């Protein structure tokens, strides 16, 4: 779980960093009087950051679902079910005999 949180945080920081760098690059081009364009390196960095963020979120969702499935009482274990052929079952509250 900790690894998935680290990957998610890394993806979020990478995306945010490249988004800020892209804005600074755009502003510097405007200040020089150039027609602002998108720098391919910044786009690739942002895409990689978003991909890592998506992988981290998917891992967190998978771990959460796995934890819910293992939650006590979330499902009936086979050992808790009555066995077939083990004799007559007495309903709860009725004495045997």
List CB contacts of 78: < 8 A, sequence separation 6 or more.
none
DSSP, residue by residue, 57-97:
HHHHHHHHHHHHHTSTTSS--GGGSPPTTS-PPPPTTS---
The rounded mean pLDDT for the chain is 81
Name the more confident of 40 and 20. 20
Residue 8 banded pLDDT, cuts 50, 70, 90: very high
């Amino acid at each position: 779980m900790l690894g998935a949180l680290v990957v998610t945080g890394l993806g979020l920081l990478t995306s945010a960093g490249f988004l800020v760098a892209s804005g600074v690059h755009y502003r510097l081009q405007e200040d020089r009087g150039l027609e602002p364009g998108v720098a391919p390196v910044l786009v690739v960095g942002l895409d990689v950051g978003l991909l890592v963020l998506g992988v981290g979120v998917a891992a967190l969702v998978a771990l959460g679902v796995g934890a819910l499935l293992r939650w006590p009482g979330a499902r009936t274990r086979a050992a808790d079910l009555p066995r077939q052929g083990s004799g007559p079952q007495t309903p709860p509250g009725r004495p045997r005999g």
